[in-house]
Amino acid sequence: MRYCLFVLFIFFFNYMHAQYAHFPTEGTITYDKTFHVKNLMKRHLETLKEGNFQRQAFEQLLEKAPDTFVAHKELRFKGEKYSFKQVKEDYPTLIENLMNWGVFGYQVDSYTDLEEEKYMGYFDFSGTPILLEDSLLDVKWKITNEYREIAGYECRRANGLLLDSIYVVAFYTDQIPVSAGPGGSHGLPGAILGFVVPELHYNIYASKVDLSPVVPTKELGQKKKEKPMRREEFYDKLKSTVGQYIDEKQYNLIMTMIFL
C-alpha cells in the first residue's frame, strides 16, 4: 500500500512539474550577444568612400580589434509584456569607442507590449538621450523542421524577414509559450532563445532561463521631459543633422542596428 502511494506521489509530482515547466508565463532569460567585430567593421568600411575621415581610423582600429565581442542582455517577460535590457558591465576601451560610434547599435533598452502592439526603446545617441515609441516591427516568418537545443530547451528554427529586407534566423521553444524575443523580434509561438542576423554580423543565444516571478518594467532610464519619437521620425531627424557627415549607406547600417 505504501509503495503504491509512493508511486502515485512521484507520478503526481512529475506531472505537476511538467505542467509548470511547459506553461510558464513569466521569467527571466539571460542572453549572450556575440558580435563578429572584424566582420562588422569591414561592413562599415565598405560604406565609407576613399578619403572619408572615418576610414583611416577604422582601418587602424581593425588591426587591433578582437574577432568577437560578447555583451549580455536580459529579457524579463510576464504574459504579453516583456523588457529587454543591457546588462551593465565594463568593456575594453576599443570596444567602448566602437560602441560610441554606433558600430554595435548603441545598446538599446526596450519594452514591448504585445497585447497593445506597442514598442518603446531608449538609448544614448552620442550624448543625446533618445526615446522611441512605435508599433511592433512587421515580421514575416517561415517555420522549418530544423531543431536544436538552447539553454536546455528544444527549439525550432524559423527564418524571417525584418524591416522588409533583413534576413534573420530565430530558434524558439513552445515550452515557454510567450511570443517574446530579443530586440524587435516577436510573433512566433514560443519564446525566442536564439536569434541570428547574418547581415549585421551578430547572434544572440540564451545562456540561462529562470522561471521565477518577475515584473517587466517600462522604466528605461528616460526622463519625463523627453518627447518620444517614432522610428521614421527619428531616422529623418538624425539624417538631417549627422547625415551630412557620414555616408548614407553607413547611416542606414547604424539605423538598422538600432532598430533590431
Residue 216 located in a structural domain: yes
Q: Is the pLDDT of residue 177 over 60?
A: yes
Residue 243 located in a structural domain: yes
Beta-sheet pairing, 202-210 with 128-135: unpaired
Within the chain, residue ranges assigned H as helices are 2-22, 37-47, 53-64, 93-100, 231-239, 248-259
> Which phi and psi (to 5°) does residue 39 adopt?
-65, -40
pLDDT digits (tens, 9 = 90+) for 185-207: 999 999 999 999 999 999 999 99
Question: For the chain, what is the mean pLDDT?
Answer: 86
Question: Quick one: what percent of the chain has pLDDT higher than 70?
Answer: 87
Contact yes or no for 210/27 (Cβ under 8 A): yes
How high is the pLDDT of residue 238? 85
User: Between these two residues, 62 and 19, which has the higher pLDDT value?
Assistant: 62
User: Between these two residues, 82 and 102, which has the higher pLDDT value?
Assistant: 82
How high is the pLDDT of residue 223? 56
Contact yes or no for 153/210 (Cβ under 8 A): no
Distance between CA atoms of residues 77 and 80, nearest Å:
7
- The DSSP string of 195-221 is EEEGGGTEEEEEEEEE-S--------S
Contacts of 190 (CB under 8 A, 6+ apart): 156, 172, 173, 174, 175, 176, 177, 178, 179
Mean pLDDT lowest for which of 82-86, 105-109, 123-127, 147-151? 123-127
Residue 106 located in a structural domain: yes
pLDDT digits (tens, 9 = 90+) for 113-134: 999 999 999 998 878 889 999 9
pLDDT digits (tens, 9 = 90+) for 214-240: 877 776 655 556 789 999 999 998 888
Listed residue (195, 171, 173, 192) closest to 181, CA to CA: 192
pLDDT digits (tens, 9 = 90+) for 21-33: 456 889 999 999 9
Taking residues 254-260, what's their average pLDDT?
A: 89
Contact yes or no for 189/132 (Cβ under 8 A): no
Task: Name the residue range of residue 241's domain.
Answer: 25-135+206-259
pLDDT digits (tens, 9 = 90+) for 55-79: 888 888 898 999 999 999 999 999 9
Question: Quick one: what percent of the chain has pLDDT higher than 90?
Answer: 58
User: Residue 169 class from Cβ within 10 Å (0-12 exposed, 13-18 middle, 19+ buried)?
Assistant: middle
Residue 119 located in a structural domain: yes
| pTM of the predicted model as reported, rounded to 2 decimal places | 0.86
Residue 244 located in a structural domain: yes
Residue type, 198: P
How high is the pLDDT of residue 221? 59
Residue 1 located in a structural domain: no
How high is the pLDDT of residue 239? 85
Residue 52 located in a structural domain: yes
Residue 193 located in a structural domain: no
Q: How many domains does the chain have?
A: 1
